[in-house]
Amino acid sequence: MNTTINSIVLMRGAQRHSRPLHALATTVGTFAALAMLGLYVPAWLTYLITVAAGNALVSLGIVTLMRGGVVSFGQGMFFAAGGYGAALLFNHAGWTDALALAIAGGALAMVLALPFAPLLARYRGIFFATLTLALSMVAYGVLMKWPALGGSDGFTVGRSTLLGQRLDGPEGSYKLFLLTMAFAAVIGFLARAYFASPVGLVTLAARDNELRVEYLGASVRRLIGANFLMAALFGGVGGALVVLSLGHVEPAFSYWTTSGEFVFIAVLAGYRSVPAVFIASFLLEIVRSFSSAYFPNTWQLVLGLFLLLVIRFLPQGIGSLWTREAR
**Contact predicate 244/176, CB 8 Å:** yes
What average pLDDT values come out for the chain (327 residues) when binned by 10 residues?
A: 45 50 82 88 90 94 91 93 93 90 95 93 90 93 88 86 83 90 93 89 84 82 92 95 92 91 90 89 87 76 81 81 61
- How far apart (Å, rounded) are the C-alpha atoms in residues 85 and 222? 27
Q: What is the pLDDT of residue 19?
A: 67
Burial of 293 (0-12, 13-18, 19+ CB in 10 A): exposed
**Contact predicate 139/79, CB 8 Å:** no
Q: Does this model's pTM top 0.75?
A: yes
Q: Which amino acid is at 226?
A: A
213 in helix, strand or coil? Answer: helix
Q: What is the pLDDT of residue 114?
A: 94
- How far apart (Å, rounded) are the C-alpha atoms in residues 110 and 108? 5
- How far apart (Å, rounded) are the C-alpha atoms in residues 270 and 157? 34
Domain boundaries, the chain: 2-271
Burial of 174 (0-12, 13-18, 19+ CB in 10 A): middle
326 in helix, strand or coil? Answer: coil
